[in-house]
Amino acid sequence: MIDVHSHILPGIDDGARDMKDALEMARLAVADGIRVMVATPHLFKHKNGDLGAINEKKVILEHLDRFRDRLAAEDIALEVLPGCDVPLSEKALSLLEEDRVMTVNDGNRYLLLELSHFAIPPSLEEICFRLQSQGLTPIITHPERHPLILERPERLEHLVDLGCLAQLTASSLTGGFGRQIARVSRQLVKKGYIHLLASDAHDPRHRPPRLSKAVSELSRLIGRERALAMVTHIPEKIIKGELAT
Ligand SMILES: [Fe+2]
């Protein structure tokens, strides 16, 4: 399986605290059947968007190099690729224009985009169009955890119609974020709004990199073939920068 959303790089955001945690997460991922993981630290190290601490391309690549060396030294068979968890904000968009934001596998083709919890901006349509005209497809992360989508799931349909892809978080489907989010997750999957399943792992204990349990639940909802595609063929196309749907 391929996991396109994880906070596995140590000491760079609110994900893995240190190398020990990161290696433990890598071992858990491999044991779960994950062979490729995109490391997607938050663009802003601190929640307040402090411009002194930006996880820009070169920072992510430096951390990734160190992590890959340790994985090789520990003989852990996990391929880790660069990525970034990008909040939808003016600041993030201007950094993107300056070519400082890491896209999925540095391919300049897919971008993980997290909507602000407080609002879906009226300019979102225009932002999507602008990104797409630069050849970038936004992947909306965990729409099932967004209060405005929980309230009206058809809001996601609109984003998908605009050409965005949508990534569901594995533990949302298996109840890790509560019953309401699990229910909305099933609803979004059944309506066909979801393209990808990812772990959004943050640590080895509370939010570990596990996909298999959610894939079983997905299989029950939409059949094994379509469920597996969400953790194999579709993410594979995304990391290769090919058309995914
Ligand atoms: Fe994330």
Give CA 210 to chain center in angstroms: 13
- How open is the CA angle 126-128-130, to the nearest 5 degrees? 70
How remote is the CA of residue 87 from the centroid of ligand 1, in Å? 10
Q: For position 38, what pLDDT does the model report?
A: 98
Give yes or no for a contact between 45 and 13, defined as CB atoms under 8 angstroms apart. yes
Provide the pLDDT for residue 50.
Answer: 60
Residue 48 has pLDDT above 70, yes or no: no
Say if residue 174's pLDDT is above 90: yes
| CA 236 to centroid of ligand 1, rounded, Å | 19
**Distance, CA 174 to ligand 1 centroid (Å)?**
17
Q: Domain holding 236: CATH number?
A: 3.20.20.140
Q: Is residue 64 part of a domain?
A: yes
Could you tell me if residue 137 is inside a domain? yes
pLDDT at residue 62 in the model? 97
**Is 86 among the domain residues?**
yes
- Separation of CA 14 and ligand 1 centre (Å): 9
Cβ–Cβ < 8 Å for 95, 49:
no
Q: Are 55 and 45 within 8 A, CB to CB?
A: yes
Confidence of residue 72 (pLDDT cuts 50, 70, 90): very high
Tell me what pLDDT residue 51 has: 61
Asked if the structure places residue 177 within a domain, the reply is yes
Ligand 1 center from residue 156 Cα (angstroms): 18
pLDDT of residue 5: 98
Q: What percent of the chain has pLDDT over 70?
A: 98
Q: 5 CA distance to ligand 1 centroid (A)?
A: 6
Task: Compute the average pLDDT of residues 197-217.
Answer: 97
158 alpha carbon to ligand 1 midpoint, in Å? 22
> Can you give the pTM of this predicted structure?
0.95
pLDDT at 125: 84
CA 151 to ligand 1 center in whole angstroms: 21
Residue 6 CA to ligand 1 center (angstroms) comes to: 6
pLDDT of 49: 59
Residue 173 lies in a domain: yes
CA of 72 to the centre of ligand 1 (A): 25
Ligand 1 centroid–CA 112 distance in Å is 9
Mean pLDDT (the chain) is 94
Instruction: Identify the band that residue 82 occupies on the pLDDT scale cut at 50, 70 and 90.
Output: very high
Q: Over 70: is that where the pLDDT of 157 sits?
A: yes
By mean pLDDT, which of 23-37, 53-67, 117-131, 137-151 is the weakest? Answer: 117-131
Assigned domain for 245 exists: no
Does the pLDDT at position 124 exceed 70?
A: yes
Q: Give the residue-averaged pLDDT of 181-196.
A: 96
Task: Compute, in angstroms, the gap from residue 225 CA to the centroid of ligand 1.
Answer: 26
CA of 187 to the centre of ligand 1 (A): 22
Does residue 223 register a pLDDT over 80? yes
Give residue 120's domain range. Answer: 2-240
Mean pLDDT of the 223-239 span? 98
State the total domains in the chain.
1
* Rounded mean pLDDT, 73-101: 95
Distance 10 CA to ligand 1 centre (A): 14
Region 15-24 average pLDDT = 97
Q: Is residue 220 part of a domain?
A: yes
Kindly give the distance from the C-alpha atom of residue 150 to the centroid of ligand 1, in angstroms, as a whole number: 18
Distance 104 CA to ligand 1 centre (A): 13
Ligand 1 centre and the CA of 86: distance in Å? 9
Residue 212 has a pLDDT of 98
